[in-house]
Amino acid sequence: MGCSFHLGDATTSYVGVEVRSRVWPTATDYWDGNWLIGIVQIAAGPWHGHYKATLRANELDEFHDQLQRLYKDKEAPPAQFDSMEPWLQFTVERSDRLGHLRVAGRAQAEPFFEGHNILQFVLELDQTYLPGVLDELAQILIEFPVIGSPSDKTV
């Protein structure tokens, strides 16, 4: 069980996340129910790696919406993935009017140790990757939908 998104080519320039499960499968509120266990995967030229991370369904949902706007509207602002805990942050923006994208971000395998194991990356990609990524994000959100709303209170 699990699904993933992969932004970039197959081997040398990509960022992706494989979502495996919810951290608390029985939680029904927004604050506990949306934590997901995933594997972050990055390739930036000769640097390749992956690590376990806890991300949130609402972060993937927000990124999906922003990326969809970026794909449909050439004037849209950059799409940003920004995890609540500093596991993964990146921005996708148009680098020109020819359909090229710049993905710039930071991956941190141990977010609770400031300054440890950080990869800053920049990927130059083509917008032809976006439809597939949007489909993959939509599939993740079907399997791991956002639960509740921010006004939920934990018990």
For the segment 57-65, the average pLDDT, to the nearest whole number, is 98
Cross-sheet strand order for the sheet of 88-94: 79-82, 88-94, 100-108, 118-126
For the segment 64-78, the average pLDDT, to the nearest whole number, is 95
| Angle formed at CA 132 by CA 41 and CA 90, multiple of 5 degrees | 45
pLDDT at residue 114, rounded to an integer: 73
Comparing C-alpha atoms, which of 9, 28, 37 is closest to residue 125? 9
- pTM (two decimals): 0.93
Quick check: 60 and 141 in contact, CB under 8 A?
A: yes
Domain 3-143 classification at class level: mainly beta
- pLDDT tens digits along 113-124: 777 789 999 999
For the segment 130-145, the average pLDDT, to the nearest whole number, is 97
Q: Is the pLDDT of residue 23 over 70?
A: yes
Q: Domain boundaries in the chain?
A: 3-143
